[in-house]
A and B are shown apart, each in its own frame.
Chain A
Amino acid sequence: MRLSIEFSGGLELLFGKKKQHSVEVDKKEIVLRDLLQWIKENLLKERPELFLSQQTVRPGILVLINDCDWELMGGLDYKVEDKDELVFISTLHGG
């Protein structure tokens, strides 16, 4: 499946300073919990502890799925679909 993944709010620094990532995930089905691991293995460049903590995103990172708060979409159990747009925003940087 083809996904669009965006990192912002300072999080892009962990992903080679690149905000927009258009990726092909070689899976028929994947839940967000497993996609996070896929992102860690395939996109993350440094300091994984600043992105993930105990199998989920670190508290203070907001996640949007197709412009909707992931807390309304089932969170980690959300079944990712082809052409989904995922956005990760850090709230931990700067004021």
Chain B
Amino acid sequence: MKECTRCKTGRAVVKRPKTAEMMCKPCFYHVFEEEIHQTIVDNKLFKAGDRVAIAASGGKDSTVLAEVMTTLNQRYNYGLDLFLLSVDEGITGYRDDSLETVKRNQEQYKIPLKIVSYEELYGWTMDAIVAKIGLKNNCTFCGVFRRQALDRGAMLLKADKIVTGHNADDIAETVLLNLLRGDISRLTRCTSITTGTEDALPRMKPFKYTYEKEIVMYAYFKKLDYFSTECIYSPNAYRGYARNFLKDLEAIRPSSIIGENLHIQQETLSKIPEQGKCSRCNYISSNPVCKACILLDSLNRGMPKIEIADEGEKVEKEVVPTSVHKTINF
């Protein structure tokens, strides 16, 4: 049995990945929550009176986020109005089950829950999209639609900000994928703790410096109720390999996960397109028509076989629809 390196009395139950400190349960909860509080304070993520939508999928990260945001909001009197916001992609046997978890979170944390569905926003469920286009580009549709759906749901809640459960491991993975894609524009944005400040709602990542291992340990020790089944439509092998690669690196040198420090040359930055608005649905877009509207148009016209790179930048150039069959309702 090992002794806690912080209080010197408790039984150590967790070894922290970055510092290798050994901690007892109470000390671990304390440092875990305090580090997130410190991240929130240092980066001035919130101000009193903010209405904050917690993007809640029912998975481990967002469940721990709901728990920690509720705890810190009370402990430090942030004065935030918290909401749970979930997106129902319309995936039978996956999202319907995880939404049950979010509904239980709503009762546990006494935070109002808003669910927005692809069906109500776009007229298509993911089940219907997959039935139509198969399993090739479905994740692209889902990714583009989810991003907008969260913003639209947050606007319905009159939220000022959205917080997401992206952790240090997730961000390292996104850095790697953007690097492999050569997507300089996303590479520069993806490590910021706050994104989308221009026109869309600001999105905050309070777990930016939090290791996945600690999130899962916290959820386990606190017996939090979370859902952990992989999306039935997302084998996503490419991302999976990137993730394995990073986990292997992390096993050897844990700090590699946080070590991202990107300096992109100014010259490159100037080429990044300006953000404007979609002429159809008014959502922010660097092109005249946003990705979601283009994807919807291709679905509604029954010509889904466009070449779409994952989260592709190519989409806009390839299909520029001339007529509107369905616009996004909200």
Give chain A's interface residues, CB within 8 Å of chain B. 8-10, 13, 58-60, 62, 64, 67-69, 71-72, 87, 89-95
- Given A69-B13, A93-B228, A94-B57, A62 and B248 contact (CB-CB distance below 8 Å): no
Which residues of chain A are near B213, meaning CB under 8 Å? Answer: 62, 91
Query: Could you show 28 A-B contacts with beta carbons less than 8 Å apart?
Result: A9-B216, A9-B228, A10-B228, A13-B229, A58-B244, A58-B247, A59-B248, A59-B250, A60-B243, A64-B220, A67-B13, A67-B221, A68-B11, A69-B14, A72-B13, A72-B14, A72-B15, A72-B22, A89-B216, A90-B228, A91-B169, A91-B215, A93-B229, A93-B230, A94-B60, A95-B59, A95-B61, A95-B166
The answer for the CA separation of A62 and B216 in the assembled complex, in Å, is 8
Minimum C-beta distance from A66 to chain B (A): 9
The answer for the CA separation of A62 and B14 in the assembled complex, in Å, is 11
The closest CB in chain B to the CB of A87 belongs to: B220
Given A9-B228, A68-B14: 10 more A-B contacts, CB < 8 Å = A10-B228, A60-B244, A68-B13, A89-B216, A91-B212, A92-B247, A94-B98, A94-B227, A94-B231, A95-B170
Which 8 pairs show the lowest CB-CB distances between chains A and B? A59-B247, A94-B59, A60-B247, A71-B15, A95-B61, A10-B228, A59-B251, A69-B14
Contact with A along B199-221 (1 / 0, CB 8 A): 00000000000001101110011
The closest CB in chain B to the CB of A93 belongs to: B228
- Given A64-B220, A72-B15, A95 and B230 contact (CB-CB distance below 8 Å): no
The answer for the CA separation of A8 and B240 in the assembled complex, in Å, is 19
Which residues of chain A are near B221, meaning CB under 8 Å? Answer: 67
* CB <8 Å contact, A72 and B228: no
Which residues of chain A are near B12, meaning CB under 8 Å? Answer: 68-69, 72
User: Is the CB of B2 closer than 8 A to any CB of chain A?
Assistant: yes
The closest CB in chain A to the CB of B234 belongs to: A94
The answer for the CA separation of A55 and B293 in the assembled complex, in Å, is 49
Which residues of chain B are near A59, meaning CB under 8 Å? Answer: 244, 247-248, 250-251
Which residues of chain A are near B217, meaning CB under 8 Å? Answer: 62, 69
User: Is the CB of B194 closer than 8 A to any CB of chain A?
Assistant: no
Which residues of chain B are near A95, meaning CB under 8 Å? Answer: 57, 59-62, 165-166, 170
- Given A69-B14, A94-B59, A8 and B244 contact (CB-CB distance below 8 Å): no
The answer for the CA separation of A95 and B11 in the assembled complex, in Å, is 30
B230-252 residues with Cβ-Cβ distance < 8 A to A are 230-231, 240, 243-244, 247-248, 250-251
* CB <8 Å contact, A91 and B59: no
Pick from B59, B216, B217, B244 the residue with the most CB of A within 10 Å.
B216
* CB <8 Å contact, B62 and A10: no
The closest CB in chain A to the CB of B15 belongs to: A71
The closest CB in chain B to the CB of A67 belongs to: B13
The closest CB in chain A to the CB of B11 belongs to: A68
The closest CB in chain B to the CB of A92 belongs to: B243
Which residues of chain B are near A89, meaning CB under 8 Å? Answer: 216, 220
- Given A69-B13, A94-B57, A10 and B216 contact (CB-CB distance below 8 Å): no
Pick from A9, A13, A58, A91 the residue with the most CB of B within 10 Å.
A91
Which residues of chain A are near B230, meaning CB under 8 Å? Answer: 10, 93-94
Which residues of chain A are near B61, meaning CB under 8 Å? Answer: 95
Contact with A along B1-33 (1 / 0, CB 8 A): 010000000011111000000100000000000
Contact with A along B148-184 (1 / 0, CB 8 A): 0000000000000000011001100000000000000
The answer for the CA separation of A8 and B15 in the assembled complex, in Å, is 20
Which residues of chain A are near B11, meaning CB under 8 Å? Answer: 68
Which residues of chain B are near A92, meaning CB under 8 Å? Answer: 240, 243, 247
Which residues of chain A are near B251, meaning CB under 8 Å? Answer: 59
Minimum C-beta distance from B299 to chain A (A): 26
The closest CB in chain B to the CB of A17 belongs to: B229
Minimum C-beta distance from B10 to chain A (A): 12
